[in-house]
Amino acid sequence: MESFQVPLDKRMPSLTCHPSVTIIDRGNWFSFAADLIGDVYDSQREEFYSYILEFNGRLNGVHIALEDGRFILVRDDYSEDITLNKGNLYRSLNVFHQAHERVYGEILKMADSLNISLHR
């Protein structure tokens, strides 16, 4: 399994971060993954997890996962779609970048509304 990283340029009004997207070749699939936030250890954890679960159900083409104590955003694409047309890789990265921007912003808003202190 081969993987490589590409920078995602992201600027949020209150916080600037520059995560990388990790691209993993899984044979028939390419997986794109990027860091969102660290796990939440707060009295509001249960409510935050409930929000993440509900929000995850509304996402299309990406999903939020918890890996090694970090929330990450993941997208999977069929490798044939990407290898047959290199423009599809750009499209997939663009969709992933836009989704990351939206999801990251929503998570920050929810954490703020619950008064949760986040750790990158």
Residue 44 lies in a domain: yes
> Which range marks the domain in which residue 25 is found?
2-113
Q: What is the pLDDT of residue 59?
A: 95
Predicted model pTM:
0.79
Q: Hey, what's the torsion of the CAs at 30, 34, 40, 44, to 10 degrees?
A: -80
Residue 118 lies in a domain: no
pLDDT of 1 strictly over 70: no
Tell me how many domains the chain contains: 1
Mean pLDDT, residues 94-114 taken together: 93
User: What is the domain-level CATH number for residue 55?
Assistant: 3.30.1460.10
Residue 18 lies in a domain: yes
Residue 119 lies in a domain: no
- The 10s digit of each residue's pLDDT in 69-90 is 999 999 998 887 777 777 888 8
- The 10s digit of each residue's pLDDT in 10-51 is 444 343 445 688 888 888 888 999 999 999 988 999 999 999
CB of 14 closer than 8 Å to CB of 108: yes
Q: What's the Cα-to-Cα distance from 89 to each of 23, 28, 41, 82, 96, rounded to whole Å? A: 11, 14, 36, 5, 10
Residue 120 lies in a domain: no
Residue 59 lies in a domain: yes
